[in-house]
Amino acid sequence: MGGEAGTSELGTDGKPLECPAPVSLRREVRFATPIALTVMAAMMPATVVIPVIRPLVASGWPGQEWVFHAFMAVNLLGACLVGPALAVWADRLGRRRVLAGGLAVLDGVMIALVALKPPLAVMLGLRFVQGAASVGAVSILMGAARGRHGGSAATGLVGSAVIMALVVGIPLGAILGRNDPALPLLVGGGVGVLAGLSSLVVLPDGLSSAMSGRAVWKSAGVRLPVVVVGLERFSVGAFTVTLQLFAFHVLQVPDGTVSRWFTIFLVTFALATLPLTRVGDRVNRYTLISAGAMVYGMMFFSLLALDARWIPVVLAVGGVASAAIYGPSLSLVSRAVPVEARASAMGLMNAAGTFGMFVGNLVAGAVAAIALSSGFDRPAAYSAVFAVAGASQVLSAVVSRSFRPR
């Protein structure tokens, strides 16, 4: 594998893909930019709510701490269980404009209804539907980015848009929610509705697909990228809360500083995704993913020993390493299936990422709790979580480097 060019990935027939005709970078970016901006807007209902979950749940459904966890868990389950099926449905019908637009509008309406603080059971149902609609809409939009052009810039651009939605949405939610935690949900819902209307304009026409979700999963070149992105998001889920606790209890670093650390990580991740996606056109993508996963894993291990002043630098490197995993993985998946099945492939990848974050958060909490209850101090407990996250990336690096597509 090591000496192969970036065009050595396999198509659905198991044969090496042909190198596509050269595509003007300017033309490709001009085509993909409206889709990328719509992807960002479609993700706003999910991102702006993140910083206000605690005050929103506390004011709307007080006295039940399990609701804090259920608020996120139900949303993630909807995204994992139903979101990919909606993307497959869109491909099978060939009506991506209508379905992406309708799902984005549904996403916005659901989060706006949550802002009204309905009864608990209704709220959880709304969150489940919202998670499914969000992943369905975003997957259809991401799959359309390569609908007309064969280069990787369009894929990298929508990948950057996914991360930029977090960069913009989280601080926006924090600002809007200072006085009223329900306001970010109403604003995010409105942006989601606008994203739905935009989808009706920016999505290109396309043919219907005869491939089932299972057939897409079995396509050569799909499974490994989906798995490594799931592992990458597993590590994100494991370290997001743990780093905050580690910084507060061990390093005595204020919350505002930790927020800046995460911003550095996300911004470098977003900015590096497009160029590293294009690097995959020139070098073997599996090798690039492997290198990114190894560097990313070393980031977690270095957190065990670094002084606090070096953590922003390490997180910036980690953001670039994450982009080296994510960008080439998007290209591999989009190239592994026909144009008309790309929304289905993106749905699988998005579901894997969501599920990875969900499991990573659970594993981090369990590892830390077991360590603390066994008599270990906080530094040791948090270090164990970082070690698990790092080990998952080392495993990902080894598997990617040794992978031989068939």
Query: How does pLDDT run across 128-157, given as a tens digit for each residue?
Result: 999 999 999 999 998 887 645 456 778 888
Domain finish residue from 187, 208, 229: 208
166 SS3 class: helix
Q: Residue 375: is it exposed, middle or buried by C-beta count within 10 angstroms (0-12/13-18/19+)?
A: exposed
Instruction: Indicate if 79 and 113 belong to the same structural domain.
Output: yes
Q: Name the percent of the chain in helix, strand, coil, to the closest 5.
A: 80, 0, 20
**Taking 70 as the threshold, does the pLDDT of residue 14 lie above it?**
no
- CA 79, 84, 87, 93 dihedral sign is negative
Domain finish residue from 159, 185, 208: 208
**Taking 60 as the threshold, does the pLDDT of residue 163 lie above it?**
yes
Confidence class of residue 12 from pLDDT cuts 50, 70 and 90?
very low
Neighbours of 7 (CB within 10 A): 15
The answer to whether the beta carbons of residues 79 and 139 sit under 8 Å apart is no
Task: Give me the number of domains the chain comprises.
Answer: 2
The answer to whether the beta carbons of residues 220 and 343 sit under 8 Å apart is no
Give the domain range for residue 329.
209-406
Within a domain: 191: yes
Note the pLDDT tens digit of each residue in 334-376: 888 888 888 888 999 999 998 998 898 888 888 888 988 888 8
Q: What is the pLDDT of residue 151?
A: 61
Instruction: Indicate if 105 and 232 belong to the same structural domain.
Output: no
Confidence class of residue 305 from pLDDT cuts 50, 70 and 90?
confident
119 SS3 class: coil
Confidence class of residue 272 from pLDDT cuts 50, 70 and 90?
very high
Within a domain: 166: yes
Instruction: Indicate if 327 and 198 belong to the same structural domain.
Output: no
- CA 87, 89, 91, 93 dihedral sign is negative
Cα→Cα distances 349→231, 276, 326, 346, Å: 11, 18, 10, 5
Instruction: Indicate if 180 and 218 belong to the same structural domain.
Output: no
CATH number at residue 105: 1.20.1250.20
Closest to 96 measured CA to CA, from 135, 141, 132, 133? 141
**Taking 60 as the threshold, does the pLDDT of residue 83 lie above it?**
yes
Q: What is the pLDDT of residue 25?
A: 67
The answer to whether the beta carbons of residues 71 and 53 sit under 8 Å apart is yes
Instruction: Indicate if 197 and 304 belong to the same structural domain.
Output: no
Closest to 250 measured CA to CA, from 382, 365, 361? 382
Q: How many CA atoms lie within 13 A of 208 on its CB side?
A: 8
Q: What is the pLDDT of residue 2?
A: 38
Confidence class of residue 94 from pLDDT cuts 50, 70 and 90?
confident
Instruction: Indicate if 245 and 195 belong to the same structural domain.
Output: no
Instruction: Indicate if 195 and 226 belong to the same structural domain.
Output: no
**pLDDT, the chain, mean:** 85
Q: What is the pLDDT of residue 324?
A: 94
**Taking 70 as the threshold, does the pLDDT of residue 378 lie above it?**
yes
Instruction: Indicate if 256 and 177 belong to the same structural domain.
Output: no
Instruction: Indicate if 252 and 133 belong to the same structural domain.
Output: no
The answer to whether the beta carbons of residues 96 and 145 sit under 8 Å apart is no
Within a domain: 293: yes
Instruction: Indicate if 134 and 226 belong to the same structural domain.
Output: no
Domain finish residue from 190, 208, 226: 208
**Taking 80 as the threshold, does the pLDDT of residue 400 lie above it?**
yes
Within a domain: 16: no
Instruction: Indicate if 376 and 273 belong to the same structural domain.
Output: yes
- Mean pLDDT of the region 21-32: 69
Confidence class of residue 297 from pLDDT cuts 50, 70 and 90?
very high
Within a domain: 18: no
Within a domain: 55: yes
Within a domain: 7: no
Answering whether pTM is above 0.85, one says no
Range name among 3-17, 59-73, 92-106 with the lowest pLDDT average: 3-17
Within a domain: 332: yes
Strands (E), 229-375: none
Instruction: Indicate if 300 and 361 belong to the same structural domain.
Output: yes
Q: What is the pLDDT of residue 19?
A: 42
Q: Residue 255: is it exposed, middle or buried by C-beta count within 10 angstroms (0-12/13-18/19+)?
A: exposed
